[in-house]
Chain A
């Protein structure tokens, strides 16, 4: 099995890569822009699990390059984990459209571009798994991060459509909805300890959802119920809240 990790420098993605290397003895292809970091992670996985690992440069924003990037992969992946994304700065994005565009294009446009290429390959092969890491922020818009949230929301709809399309070809599409996870992205935020997972725990949830061929998984499980409540709040009330 070969697992391609797009955005391997995200803490959750990396922890998932470790799970696959450790528990399935899968070979790993790490893709991201920061090669200094990727090469260390390559050494880490190789040292720990003795599997084949390689690092490949990948830029989510450079959609033009995506076809060549995928063509260059040998062997082709059996599992693609898409986990790149950028939280950005909401206030900056409100004031400067270029900042907003960067958030939207990284989280959404770039994801569509590369996943369409992967989907075409998996559809022909009639096998494969696509794991897309979204966010609970994509389930309801909030003033503190709605630019990010809307891009992630679009990505969630995209994944559900992709699942619908690929189901008949035996391709598994797994949507991951992380709640609070202690990662580089959330560093410095005051997260509620009891609701916050470590990346390894989130990765464990993702890996077992992969094994069980689930469609949607929340990390941790309680976020499903938290979001059920948040989504049920009527808009006339929700607009008055500061969540």
Chain B
């Protein structure tokens, strides 16, 4: 395998809380991404997935602190904080935010907002930049003349397409998409996902898709990581995770997703994720786990290789731990 486009190593994020204390939102995650690869990051809300990708771009609020390495094309872009990460923003890594949330400033024209990063990063200027913005809109399936429109004049689905066009403005190598389809209806959702896949294939664009919605990942991504309480519980090819989950959380997460054809009971996972203002003892998932056994409450599980390109953090995969109990 050639050198990865992006390598994330032991990424941690803490938030200083207003009332004192700290929230350890991302607790050391690792993953790699090849050029043009589509990678899914799945988990319940509050598991740290959004924080993790915002950390990749150094977009955390001032009460946050970050540790770890984010290596893009061999360069650790977080090494010197804001100074080292800002030249890469939008130029190499762009972002698509949630559909319902407004990525566009409501009082400025769509076209101007797409042109903005081009001029900032000297990709194109003036007329040329506007021409390129119109082309990008066309590429995502919006009429060229919409560059003159204001955001509120576009439907939710169109606005999300425009946001994708905006992400492509500086020909990035990687696009981070945070719940890009959550607020959209199912038909539009499918269109947007198809658009993302085809753009990724045509332009050789790598994609990190963050979502709580497994079917969304199934439609778009190959390798996937399941996050729980700020750590990656299990990672590997999605179909392997589905057919042979090696972490109870992965299994339960799939079980919570309704299936049209299989007559299987949809379950919900009891309990709530742990509070992360103190370090959980043992496995963070243990209190909600249906297969927890002796070591889970006290010993933190380590990531074990459980197959080809697969890792899982669960004592069930550790013969020594099982033998001991």
Q: Do A and B bind each other?
A: no
Residues on B lying within 8 angstroms of A by beta carbon are none
